[in-house]
Amino acid sequence: MKKIGFIGLGVMGKPMVMNLIKAGHQVTVFDQVRSLVDELKKEGAHPASSLLEAVGENEIVITMLPNSPHVKDVCLLSEQALIQYVEPGTIVIDMSSISPEVTKEINEAFGEKGVSYIDAPVSGGYVGAVAGSLSIMVGGEEQAFEQVKDVLACMGKRITYMGPSGAGQTTKLCNQIMVTGTTLTMSEALALGKKSGLDLYKLRDVLVSGGANCWHLEHKAPLMIEGNFEPSFKSALLLKDINLAIEKAKAEQLELPVLFQSKELYEQLINQEGGNIDYIAIIKQIYKEF
């Protein structure tokens, strides 16, 4: 049993905490939205009403927040930033998807205090978070990773050490380039099928059984066909990832045409529908009848 502080209880954080509790860990939870803390209290988590309480005497502190500024704020900048309270020897694990450069910056600051900082972003969506089957891509000190591998295994099925600080986040950006491209090409295939009068459920079944099959076709195409765009992974979060991937590609002097074009499409979607709509709603930008 480990004592764990967990900060950020949104779509992903909540089911991840539930799996840690199920595995027998003692988890103290914090979110700026108090009702999310209360919901997890009912499930057996210890409620915290501040970052300070979330750190407590926990040996591991996990963050699952929207973007780089939130993680930097919680770790380094805010009034109660973790850096002020964590004891040397603590391991901080950021499981959010954020910038590899900001990750390195936070890693350095914690390193000066004798605190290990690991980047461990995830893939697999809400479904994977609930099932505890996330793919987890890890960067940071390998020795610290070995110490928390068992804890990560409560939330994920495939846990891969990718290299030094930031390597997990860079891996996640590669993942998001594919998520974006796949979502767009799948939207185009379904749009052509619909306009041509095909039965979209049959079309999807045919594609699943051939060379076009992928996770998105299995899990997301049925929702797209139904027009169910309830937020599971918000468009604003995918646009954040697209921008981070573009920033990284530019830093590496790499032209990535599909990625670069996807930015405009997601900006249009968010302008029209707001950032909370699910990312698969991009199909409406391809063909309005969805």
* Piece of the chain touching ligand NAD by CB under 6 A; list 6-14, 37-45, 135-143, 155-163: 6-14
| Residue 10 touching ligand NAD (CB under 6 A) | yes
Options 8-16, 104-112, 151-159, 188-196: segment touching ligand NAD (CB under 6 A): 8-16
Among 82, 237, 239, 265, contact with ligand NAD (rule: CB under 6 A): 237
Residues near ligand NAD (CB under 6 A), total: 27
One residue of 4, 9, 81, 283 binding ligand NAD per CB under 6 A: 9
**Member of 232, 235, 262, 285 binding ligand NAD (CB under 6 A):** 232
The burial of 47, by beta-carbon neighbours within 10 Å (0-12 exposed, 13-18 middle, 19 or more buried), is given as: middle
User: Whose Cβ is closer to ligand NAD: residue 14's or residue 284's?
Assistant: 14
Nearer to ligand NAD, 111 or 275 (CB): 275
One symbol per residue from 15 to 44: x for binding ligand NAD (CB under 6 A), - otherwise; what is it? ---------------xxxx--x--------
Which of 21, 29, 65, 162 forms a contact with ligand NAD (CB under 6 A)? 65
Contacting ligand NAD within 137-176 (CB under 6 A): none
If one counts every other C-beta atom within 10 angstroms of the C-beta of residue 2, the result is: 18
Q: Are 92 and 101 in contact (CB under 8 A)?
A: no
Given the rule CB under 6 A, which of 118-126, 180-188, 190-198, 219-227 is the region that contacts ligand NAD?
A: 118-126
271: which residues sit within 8 A by CB, 6+ positions away? none
What's the distance, Cα to Cα, between the start and end of the chain in Å?
A: 48
> Which of 55, 74, 184, 269 lies at the binding interface for ligand NAD (CB under 6 A)?
74
| Inter-residue contact 50 to 78 (CB < 8 Å) | no
CA nearest 62: which of 124, 130, 116? 116
Q: Which is nearer to ligand NAD, 70 or 284 (CB)?
A: 70
Asked whether 239 and 270 are in contact (CB, 8 A), the reply is yes
Q: How far apart are CA 262 and CA 123, in angstroms?
A: 20
Cβ neighbours of residue 5 closer than 8 Å, sequence gap 6 or more: 27, 28, 29, 30, 48, 54, 55, 56, 58, 60, 61, 62
Find all residues with CB under 8 Å of 52, minimum gap 6, and list them.
80, 85
- Among 14, 72, 172, 220, which one carries the catalytic annotation? 172
Interface with ligand NAD includes 282 (CB under 6 A)?
Answer: no
**Out of 12, 137, 162, 281, which residue is the one contacting ligand NAD (CB under 6 A)?**
12
- Structure-block tokens of residue 15: 């089911």
Told to check if 70 binds ligand NAD by CB under 6 A, we report: yes
Query: Which residues have CB under 8 Å from 223's CB, separation 6+?
Result: 229, 278, 280
Q: Does 13 bind ligand NAD (CB under 6 A)?
A: yes
Q: Which of 161, 215, 233, 260 binds ligand NAD (CB under 6 A)?
A: 233
Cα–chain-centroid distance for residue 62? 13
Which positions are catalytic?
A: 172
Residues contributing to the site for ligand NAD (CB under 6 A): 7-13, 30-33, 36, 64-66, 70, 73-74, 96-97, 122-123, 125-126, 232-233, 237
